[in-house]
Amino acid sequence: MNIMTEQKLEQAVGASMTAKTNEVIKMQGRKVGVFYGEKQALFDVELDIRQNQVTALIGPSGCGKSTFLRCLNRMNDTIDSARVTGKITLDGEDVYDPKIDVVELRARVGMVFQKPNPFPKSIYENVAYGPKIHGLARTKADLDAIVQSSLQKAALWNEVKDRVHEPGTGLSGGQQQRLCIARAIAVAPEVILMDEPCSALDPIATAKVEELIDELKQNYTIVIVTHSMQQAARVSQRTAMFHLGYLVEEGATDKMFTNPDDKRTQDYITGRFG
């Protein structure tokens, strides 16, 4: 099975080499492995993230999607037992280089979590949190402008513009998740990582968030973990399939969903396992 995976990997890497000329590789993973203590959770993952595209990570539960995603902005550093090997680059710079400031990295590679996690502060304060920390606004007016434009980009402004000083925890689940997206946007990141952002939302809120992701890709590079095949098919341009810690195959979403190379991808997409 290992051999087969490597074959597929070569193909996948080959595919990325033949990227269209207008496609820029934003982030790149090479031989990425992750250990939790003694246990290895991720094996030799090679994956390119293209600029201004949505890359979907799919695969059965426990296969390492979140683990890989968390490598991209070094959120795994916050887990004591986690250790990352291999190389991940952002615009060609090694993310795990000791010279890299992790705080700066996370400002460039933002994250939205599975469960909406607004801070117990007002809507305004939630969005203003990142800009304040990074000193992005000189004046109160600047800050107001950032907050407003972030909320607008997250398609939340119209719903909350009369109550931005009310607690963010008082919003509905879908609104909270869009607030978390606005919060991430406010820092002006280049890449946004989303770990199952719609798993706690109803279909209407999900549709809104998907619509939002589609718009956001104009300005940002997006990586999204999802368990919904429809969602992956709807929002993403590239799809990567993980299984038991290995990257099984990666390619254009259209091809992955219609004519995958690997049997496991086929089975997973058609719901035969996972």
Ligand X SMILES: Nc1ncnc2c1ncn2[C@@H]1O[C@H](COP(=O)(O)OP(=O)(O)OP(=O)(O)O)[C@@H](O)[C@H]1O
Please report the sign of the dihedral spanned by the C-alpha atoms of residue 165, residue 167, residue 168, residue 174.
negative
72 and 88 in contact (C-beta within 8 Å)? yes
In order of 61, 68, 249, 272, the CA distances from 46 in angstroms are 20, 11, 10, 26
Q: CB of residue 218 vs ligand X: minimum separation in angstroms?
A: 28
Q: Is 30 helix (H, G, I), strand (E, B) or coil?
A: strand
**Near Mg ion in 139-168, by CB under 5 A:** none
Which of 8, 65, 106, 208 forms a contact with other proteins (CB under 8 A)?
106
Q: Is 62 in the site for ligand X (CB under 6 A)?
A: yes
Q: Is 205 in the site for other proteins (CB under 8 A)?
A: no
By beta carbon distance, the residue nearest Mg ion is 66
Q: For the chain, how far is it from start to end, CA to CA, in angstroms?
A: 18
Bridge pairing between strands 238-243 and 246-252: antiparallel
Q: Is 265 in the site for Mg ion (CB under 5 A)?
A: no
The 147-186 contact track toward other proteins, x by CB under 8 A, reads: --------------------x-xx---------x--xx--
Which of 35, 36, 96, 119 forms a contact with other proteins (CB under 8 A)?
119
Q: Is 12 in the site for other proteins (CB under 8 A)?
A: no
How far is it, in rounded angstroms, from Cα 110 to Cα 193?
6
Query: Which residues here bind other proteins, judged by CB under 8 A?
Result: 73, 75, 78, 80, 103-108, 110-111, 113, 115, 117-121, 129-130, 133-134, 167, 169-170, 180, 183-184, 187
